Amino acid sequence: MHNSGRNYRILAFTLFTAMTLSSVRAQNTNKTTETVYSGTVTSMSFKDVKQPDPLKTRAEDIVWKRDVYRIVDLTVGNNAVLYYPVEATAEKKNLFSSLFEAIAQNKVKAYEYQDGREIFTDAYAIKFKDLLKRFDIPFKERTDPKRPGTTIFDIEGVDIPTSEVVTYYVKETVYLDARTSTVQTKTIALCPVLVRFDDNEGTRKFPMFWIPIEAVKDYLSTQSVAADSMNSAERYTLYDYFNLRRYTGDIYKVSNPKNQTIFEYCSTPEAIKAEQERLEKELKEVGNALWEPNEKDLKEAKDNVALDKKDTGKKIKNAKTARQSTN
């Protein structure tokens, strides 16, 4: 847990059983005046530095696709820029703080993490109160005397598990665009994973929820992050960070008929590593496997075979000559 020195006051409108959040307020424990937590992390303008959106691909142009799931470890390489700063401030916050705030302010919906499938419909949207209870995030609930039908959730900043989210699951889609004759990879959704230690069961992972990247695009586009861990001067928005796939992560599943993860059909670390390498190679070569070679490629391949035969013939001739001279 981190200690941000802030208390979060979260207001949610309640209508029958539905609950939507109207605002989040933070109160500095060293001050008596209450201020609105705006969620703005930087005054820097991204008008000129924001990367262009990826080319929109029409559904009818996608002739082949495969979903890829990766484990993104925030303790590795450039992924660390998503973890820091652990202690959120009004100026800067890490990825989980940004997502938590967006959900609390009802700017985005979080969806149930289900084993093996993601359904981004209202039926699978998570209510904020249920999210707090499910992951043991302490809160106090009371009725707002100034707003009938409004529930207030008071959450201490120290209780938001920002430091415990050291892993994300990332869903990508690799697809073949027939219109541009290119293989594209698009980041689809994020799932923060709580990593907690239990005295009886050791380290345990708790996937929290899925959030589609495009649903949170406008919010993440206002948040800045360093381009990599070695260069804090060059910066991207959080949306561009994922859009450009600046993160790294090992594959744990590729869409398959049985919907199995690698860990379900590989029993040893060596087998898991070999399967991850095989899938990475397979994805890189997908373009070559799907397109028929043109006449130029066929001619080059034929010429290469002829050169190999000629080179082999020279080696055999030289070897015979060497033996004859020795005798």
Tell me the DSSP string of 264-306.
HH--SHHHHHHHHHHHHHHHHTHHHHHSPP-HHHHHHHHHHHH
Query: Which of 143-147, 149-153, 221-225, 265-269 has maximum average pLDDT?
Result: 265-269
* Backbone torsions φ then ψ of 241, nearest 5 degrees: -55, -45
pLDDT at position 154: 85
pLDDT at position 146: 84
Lowest-pLDDT range of 47-61, 139-153, 252-266: 47-61
Higher pLDDT pick, 309 / 49:
309
pLDDT at position 305: 67
Query: Which of 41-45, 50-54, 157-161, 262-266 has maximum average pLDDT?
Result: 262-266
Higher pLDDT pick, 280 / 312:
280
Cα–Cα distance between 135 and 150 in angstroms, integer?
23
Pick the closest to residue 140 from 148, 132, 21 (CA basis): 132
The mean pLDDT value of the chain amounts to 77
pLDDT at position 229: 62
Q: Where are the beta strands (DSSP E) in the chain?
A: 6-15, 18-28, 35-36, 62-73, 140-143, 150-156, 165-177, 182-198, 202-207, 211-212, 224-228, 231-237, 250-254
At 214, is the pLDDT very low, low, confident or very high (cuts 50, 70, 90)? very high
pLDDT at position 256: 92
How much is the average pLDDT of 94-116?
Answer: 89
Q: What is the pLDDT of residues 17-49, one digit of tens each?
A: 333 333 333 333 333 333 232 332 222 223 333
Measure CA 277 to chain center.
20
Measure CA 183 to chain center.
20
